[in-house]
Amino acid sequence: MTRDRWQRGLAFEPLAFLTALVMACSASVAAQEAAEVPPSAVKALAPGQKIAGYDALRFEQPYIIQRLTERAYFLAVETNNLTFYVGDEGVLVFDPLSGRRAAIALQAIATVTDLPVTALMYSHSHLDHIGEASVFVAAAKKNGVNLRIIASQATLAEIERHGKPVPRPTEIVATPEGEFTFEELTVKVFTNGTRHSVDASTAYLLGEGVVHAPDFFVPGHLPFENFDFSLDIKGFEDDLALLKRLDWQFFNDGHGNIGSRQDALFQQEYIDQLRAATLAGLQALPFADFIDPTRHPDLYSLDWVAKLAEAAKKEMDPKFTRLEEFDYLFKNHVMFMIVNISYHQSGMVVPQAE
């Protein structure tokens, strides 16, 4: 289109232009609104939808319940979440929570069903997720139920190693991959052993399209420090690859809003950009240029990481850099990436460090 034709078109059809612009903006707003809906214990969530106002609501009210499917539910109590599944004879709970949250969780579940909790699964051994399992045991006993407590071999080993003050599992699932059944539901359990903790698991509710994987990633946000204390980035990526293979629509990280497949792709894209930006920084800012024999090596090494992170930030997509937590976490992520590259990909990245 020539400049004259463009000007004539703009001059003769301003109303059409403005109408199209308004419609485009309205569609964008409508899409955003559709992606965030008020929580409902009755209406199942559509894939990709999240709870509107989640961050504030979880502190403004005793709990949030969101129905995910016909039988699976997401439950948030302050900073922690669990998943529960309502069967024909009882309820299966993934993680009993801690810090007085277990009693609140039981009250919340009772608003959905009269059935008792008959089975409990430990996602991993960290006490913020399983510290109040005894509350569920007591409730089950009161209801005349011999509570099933299910955990992976790795989680049992960690409970025993630390002498954790929680009821011992009554059923053990094999690692790195195992499964158990609850009424008609099959739950597959994957325990990578290098993400977050040696026993951090991914529980996949077969046929429900639901994944319960606490302390993995908070949807819409960057991973916490050292990729939520993963042994290495590959462990984190391996579990992302696992999510890609599984057929699911709803993700519960145990701390954040409900996640989707797009949220998992967001994490992998961040890692890919972080790796590329870090590698570019390693080429532009060689470690040898920062060595100063008059200073402690930790100090000039940290100076190097800081400069490298500053350069790498310029290579990152704004959708990452504009996140509130970016400036708090990015330098740590760059350092973690450097460590992973030098330990596992190239022994020549920081040869002088020895």
Q: Which residues pair with 151 in a beta bridge?
A: 172
Please report the DSSP string for 243-272 in residue order. Answer: HHHS--SEEE-SSSSPB-HHHHHHHHHHHH
- What percent of the chain lies above the pLDDT cut of 90? 87
The residue ranking higher by pLDDT, 34 or 201, is 201
| Per-residue pLDDT at 295 exceeds 70 | yes
* Residue 44: DSSP 8-state: P
How does pLDDT run across 228-258, given as a tens digit for each residue?
A: 999 999 999 999 999 999 999 999 999 999 9
Angle at CA 116, nearest 5°, toward 51 and 154?
Answer: 75
Residue 227 pLDDT level (bands cut at 50, 70, 90): very high
In the chain, count H helices and then E strands. Answer: 13, 14
Residue with tokens 């801690």: 98
Q: Read off φ and ψ for residue 201, nearest 5 degrees.
A: -115, 160
pLDDT of residue 72: 98
CB-CB contact of 69 with 208 (8 Å): yes
Cβ neighbors of 167 (< 8 A, separation 6 or more) are: 133, 134, 137, 149
pLDDT of residue 349: 62
Residue 343 pLDDT level (bands cut at 50, 70, 90): confident
Per-residue tokens: 220: 């819409």
pLDDT of residue 25: 42
Residue with tokens 């948030």: 76
Per-residue tokens: 202: 């991914």
Q: How far apart are CA 324 and CA 329, in angstroms?
A: 10
In order of their start, the domains of the chain are 36-219+248-259 (3.60.15.30), 271-353 (no CATH)
pLDDT of residue 342: 86
Q: How far apart are CA 331 and CA 327, in angstroms?
A: 7
| Per-residue pLDDT at 320 exceeds 60 | yes
Q: How far apart are CA 239 and CA 252, in angstroms?
A: 14
CB-CB contact of 229 with 196 (8 Å): yes
| Per-residue pLDDT at 8 exceeds 50 | no
Residue 345 pLDDT level (bands cut at 50, 70, 90): confident
| Per-residue pLDDT at 13 exceeds 60 | no
Per-residue tokens: 223: 């991973």
pLDDT of residue 301: 93
Q: Read off φ and ψ for residue 82, nearest 5 degrees.
A: -135, 170
How does pLDDT run across 277-291, given as a tens digit for each residue?
A: 999 999 999 999 999
How does pLDDT run across 107-130, given as a tens digit for each residue?
A: 999 999 999 999 999 999 999 999
Q: How far apart are CA 354 and CA 346, in angstroms?
A: 14
| Per-residue pLDDT at 1 exceeds 70 | no
pLDDT of residue 312: 97
Q: What average pLDDT is seen over the chain?
A: 90
Cβ neighbors of 284 (< 8 A, separation 6 or more) are: 311
pLDDT of residue 17: 38
How does pLDDT run across 57-105, given as a tens digit for each residue?
A: 999 999 999 999 999 999 999 999 999 999 999 999 999 999 999 999 9
How does pLDDT run across 134-193, given as a tens digit for each residue?
A: 999 999 999 999 999 999 999 999 999 999 999 999 999 999 999 999 999 999 999 999
Q: CA-based Rg of the chain, rounded to a whole angstrom?
A: 24
